[in-house]
Structures are given as structure tokens and as C-alpha cells.
Amino acid sequence: MAVHVLLFDAGSENEGIHSLELNGTTVVLLFEDKDDAERYAGLLEAQDFPLPTVEALDRTEMEEFCASAGYEARFVPAGFMPQSPEERLLIAPPEKNMDVSNWKEQGEPQAGAPSEDPHEPISSGNAELEDFRRRLEGLL
């Protein structure tokens, strides 16, 4: 089953995946509905965040990637209705975002290091993400 994720600088050496920092856990959103992912991307852009690209990827592959990288994959089903303030972040980005003017130079966050901002792009310059991307491209 395909899910839709938000990528920054897709296909480049500086490619990154959109994530949220929730209660000390890095969460990657996996949207079932492409329209929901595009709406979320538009909300990010409205907050002066770089506009991400919506990419359709295999859900199982994404869940495996997130698990191997220490991230939590959070599936957002079509028509999702939040029941808590935390769940609201699955359909609309937080009002406060990380300053991303230099996120490409920041590198990977330290494991266990607290993030001051709940909205953090993950730099994908690491070999794991590049290997994952190559495997996904091979499937296509």
C-alpha cells in the first residue's frame, strides 16, 4: 500500500523528510490520502516553511526505514479526525516551527538530544536514507 510523505529537496544530496518532535520522539507522517499530504505541505508553505514535495512510497518500506532510523512512523488515514491536541499535529503543523534557513547545514540531531521545536526536518545525507531511496527507486 502506498503512503504519501513530505520530502524536502527531493532527489538531491540534501534531501530530507518532514518530521515532528512529539514527546521526545521523532515522528514521520505517512498520509493515506495524497490530498491530505498536499494540504499539509501547503500549510507548511503558508508558515514560510520550505515547500516539500509529496512522494508516494510503500508503507511497509517507510515503516521499516523509520524503525531502523529510530523514528516513529505515524499513519494518517483518509478523513482522519483528531481527538487530542497532539493528534491535531497530524493534520496541521504546529504554529511554532524551527528556523529552517540553515537546516541543511545542521546535520543529524544527536540521539536523545532534546529538540526545542516540535517541527524538525531530518537531514538525509546519511547512507541509510540514500540506500533506502535507491531500493525504492529500484521498485519503480
pLDDT of residue 34 exceeding 50, the answer is yes
Give residue limits of the domains in the chain: 2-95+117-139
pTM for the structure as a whole: 0.67
What is the residue-wise DSSP string for 29-57?
Answer: EEESSHHHHHHHHHHHHHTTPPPPEEEEE
What is the phi/psi pair of residue 44, to 5°?
-65, -45
Q: Nearest Cα to 93, choosing from 33, 51, 34?
A: 51
Sign, Cα dihedral of 68, 71, 77, 83: positive
Q: What's the pLDDT tens digit per position in 87-110?
A: 888 888 876 544 444 444 444 443
pLDDT of residue 60 exceeding 80, the answer is yes
* 17, burial (CB in 10 Å: exposed 0-12, middle 13-18, buried 19+): buried
